[in-house]
Structure 1
Amino acid sequence: MTDAEWQRVRPLLPVPGWLEGRGGRPESYCHRVMLDAVFYVVDNGIKWRAMSVDFPAWDRVYAFFRRWRNNGLIDELHDRLRGKVREAEGREPEPSAAVIDSQSVKADAVVGTGSRGYDGGKKINGRPRHLICDTIGLLLMINVTAGDVTDRQAAADMLSALRDRFPTITRLWADSGYTGTLITWDLSMLHLVVTVIKRTDDVSGFVVLPRRWVVERTFAWLLHSRRLARDYERRPDSSEAVIRWSMTRLMTRRLAGPRRA
């Protein structure tokens, strides 16, 4: 991170437990160094053991990543940054509308059979990333499942949690994979209006569809991180954490403004 980026991130960092008297021991490394190390892994797609000698030992960096994943600290930092980015765009910190979609990626050999499956529609053996973003493409929720979990199955669980986490959201855009009883259930039980944007049959090739292009762009942002070009994580929650780290890096750069040569 540049100094400008660090100045943006530092006030938003979760406070360590030992500073608030909640137990634990002081950390051995500066948070800026550890954040840079995790960003280095996510951005370059390297193995943890291939950590550069410019950073702390790989097992210390992985322990930091694991602790932030298990304690929800990366979720906390990510959500605070999202609110700041929305405010910088002239919007309210909490969104009122969202877009949902999924992306299937191939799974590495380390991914066990219990958390992977075959996506018949996209013919990919791996894991889908079910993602809900706001209308400017910032991540709201992510759910990584096995490949044989359908979009409607994943959406049923995610939308209930979305209503609890973001009560201000009243409208959702989706593609034709989310049709059926899910729409009427969302309206009656969650008071959430779901609008399905379909592709016309007489059009061939790539076409930009209203609202749906926002979430597609978010998936493209994620693929800029080489660690996300394929699913290399043994656990689905680790894969979700890597996605949040990638979005955290993107929002940090956006808040700090354009970089100088």
Structure 2
Amino acid sequence: MADIEVFVFAVEAELEAMDRERVGVHRRGRKPDLALRRRLVGLVWTLTFGGMQWRVAGWLSGIPFTTLHSAFARWARLGLWRRLGQRLALDWRLACGDEVLPSAVVVDSRSLRSAPSAWARGIDGGKLIKGVKALAVCDKHGSLLDLELYPANTDDRAGALPLLSRLAALGFQGDLLGDSGFKGAPFATAALAHDIHVSVSPGGTRDGCFLPSGIRWVVERLFAWLSRYRRLNIVYDRAPDLFAAHIWIAMISIISRRLVAQTHT
């Protein structure tokens, strides 16, 4: 199966599950047009992977771009992308023979250039990038568990604070592995309040070379995987939840492809 077919199948199954749970996937009293919905899901994947504009995708597909973007934004607002991405990450852990929840997660940030239309723009003085930071938390397999977005001039520890409560709500209790950007007693104390222990290791050598340490390098591999999806390399979205949706879409595509490949081996 092609990547787009695997993605559409996974999203359709999740939409049906949300419909059974009555979380507002479609308007009350109206049955969804399943053929149109499948086309919309496939176009959303194409946008994330190829990086084209919404208007161009609408013109090429014959579907009004307002219809396409409205469906994408509605699903993002309902939490479809985050919910499916996290569920697939845990499913992949089970498929690999691990426990559902990891005993340790890895955290790191990546600075991304943003267009003037983006919701925020800050300057990362260390990397000389004007845009936003994407802070990602992943397990040892490199599967994304949660993320946070903020201007590039925000300190990593301040940006990671909202993640702590969400990781705890997910059921995680264990070690949070990060580089020296996450060291400090205030952040460690805030993490301990959620039964999360911060473990800091140096991220590089004095001459700026990357220094692998334990499983901390897997988050760098995660960023490399995500960079293959062109929509994620420059931020154009006017709201953070919309750009976060594109990141989750990329992760859904990656993990769903793995799960299907494993079932055929």
Aligned partners of 1:21, 1:209: CA distance in 2, in Å? 42
Aligned to 2:165: 160
CA RMSD of aligned residues (A): 2.7
| TM-score (norm. length: structure 1) | 0.87
- Partner-residue secondary structure (3-state), 1:190: coil
Instruction: Please give the alpha-carbon distance, in whole angstroms, between the structure 1 residues aligned to 2:18 and 2:234.
Output: 32
User: Which 4+ residue blocks in structure 1 deviate beyond 6 angstroms?
Assistant: none
Cα offset, 1:164, TM superposition? 2.0
1:100 touches 1:215 (CA, 8 Å); kept in 2? yes
Matched, 1:37 2:10: no
Q: Distance in 2 between matches of 1:21 and 1:141?
A: 21
Equivalent residues in 2 for 1:72-221, closer than 5 Å: 72-112=79-119, 115-165=120-170, 167-186=171-190, 188-199=192-203, 201=205, 205-221=209-225
Aligned to 1:12: 14
| Distance (Å, rounded) in 2 between the aligned partners of 1:78 and 1:96 | 19
Sequence identity (%): 31
Would the aligned equivalents of 1:74 and 1:244 in 2 still touch at CA under 8 Å?
A: yes
Asked whether the 8 Å contact 2:202–2:211 carries over to 1, the reply is no
Q: 1:253 to 1:197 in 2, by over 3 A?
A: same
Q: How many residues align?
A: 256
How far the C-alpha of 1:140 sits from its partner, in A, is 0.8
Is 1:248 the counterpart of 2:248 in the alignment? no
Offset of residue 26 of structure 1: 2.3
Return the alpha-carbon distance in structure 2 between the equivalents of residues 256 and 201 of structure 1. Answer: 39
Contact 2:142 2:221 in 1 (8 A): yes
Q: Which runs of 5 or more residues in structure 2 are unaligned?
A: none
Distance 1:49 1:20, change over 3 A: same
Once structures 1 and 2 are overlaid, which stretch shifts more, 97-106 or 175-184?
Answer: 175-184
Change in Cα spacing, 1:201 to 1:37, as seen in structure 2 (3 Å) is closer
The answer (yes or no) to whether the contact 2:205–2:211 under 8 Å persists in 1 is no
Give the match for residue 231 of structure 1.
235
Q: Distance in 2 between matches of 1:55 and 1:250?
A: 28
- The offset of 1:21, in angstroms, is 10
Provide closer, same or farther for how the CA distance between residues 171 and 71 of structure 1 changes in structure 2, counting only shifts above 3 A: same
User: Which residue in 2 is equivalent to 1:70?
Assistant: 77
- TM-score normalised to structure 2 length: 0.85
Q: CA deviation at 1:199?
A: 4.4
- C-alpha offsets along residues 166-213 of structure 1, whole Å, 9 cap, x if unaligned? x23311100000011145404642221211111464666344332221
Contact 1:105 1:230 (C-alpha < 8 Å) held by counterparts: yes
